[in-house]
Amino acid sequence: MASSSTRSQTGDPGGESPSRGDSRKRFATITVIGRDKTGVVARITNFLFEQGANIEALEEQVTRGQFSMTVQTSWREGQLERAEVAGGLQRLAAALDMEIKLRFTEPRRRQRMAIMVSREPHCFQALMDATRSGALKRAEPVVVLSNRKELASLAEEAGLPFITVPWEARLKAEEQALSALEAHEIDFIVLARFMKILSPNFVWRYKNKIINIHPSLLPSFPGPQAYRQAYEQGVKIIGVSAHFVTMNLDEGPIIAQDCFRVHPGMALKEIVASGQRLEAATLLKAVRLYLEKRLDVYWGVVKEV
């Protein structure tokens, strides 16, 4: 069995690489997913060595027999043979019976962002406002995916394609969503109050690249009724948490949190309104931290670097 990596540098493997600032290099990100078996890491890294690649970062893990790995690579000017690298990886994918995807990237470019929504507009609207104002200048919104149609007009106003994916059958829905994300060459995903659970099969493909906002100070009050649970329990402070999505619901590494005080006599409607304003602000903070490459996940905990 392959060993499981416990540390990963977040930010985009398709943007500025860990060896910052060398515009003469050529970069690529390689993802490998499939059933765990012996020798996968060695075969991939040996092939890249033979192709003259430098491995800038590598992260791999095994969960319930499923292997996943992301490799960030670079080549010096004139050393990259794209067709040979692509062809060799395709042959390795067939030999290993695994999914191997290769994406060549450019340093210092804006990160291509997908936004997944359901019906609540506040976080989506905040992302669009921040993009227009330049507060998210390192991000390029590319596409909006939703299991509902309510926010299609907001996407249209922002000039973004809006793709509706019915979510009654999760496996089929996720296949459609992943296909759309790949077609739009997405670097990272923001769940702007997207109210469906993503499977490990989905999350593995964007490890530490899916940012979610949860209306609670995690791990308290998980699930979609967090405000009601907090209200019914009579809590005096309510908060929100932005976190990376993992295979465990609402338990991913926390990026940012904030809270507000519940005043005596405060109605549920007021609590929800206050919470939604805080959700939008905290989600934006988390996205900015991600884009500024100031986050490091170490043993499941986010640290600013």
Pairing state between β 99-105 and 111-117: unpaired
Q: What pTM, to 2 d.p., does this model score?
A: 0.80
Q: What is the pLDDT of residues 234-261, one digit of tens each?
A: 778 888 999 999 877 777 888 999 999 9
Token pair recorded at residue 186 = 């997405």
Q: Which residues pair with 7 in a beta bridge?
A: 298
Give all domains of the chain, ordered by start, each with its CATH number. Answer: 7-105 (3.30.70.260), 111-304 (3.40.50.170)
Whole-number pLDDT of residue 20? 46
Any idea how long the chain is? 305
Known active-site residue 36: no
Q: 177 — phi, psi (to 5°)? A: -65, -45
User: pLDDT tens digits, residue range 116-138?
Assistant: 999 999 999 999 999 999 999 99
Q: Which of these is catalytic: 36, 97, 250, 258?
A: 250
Whether residue 12 is predicted with pLDDT greater than 70 in this model: the reply is: no
- Whole-number pLDDT of residue 57: 86
Instruction: Give me the pLDDT at residue 298, please.
Output: 57
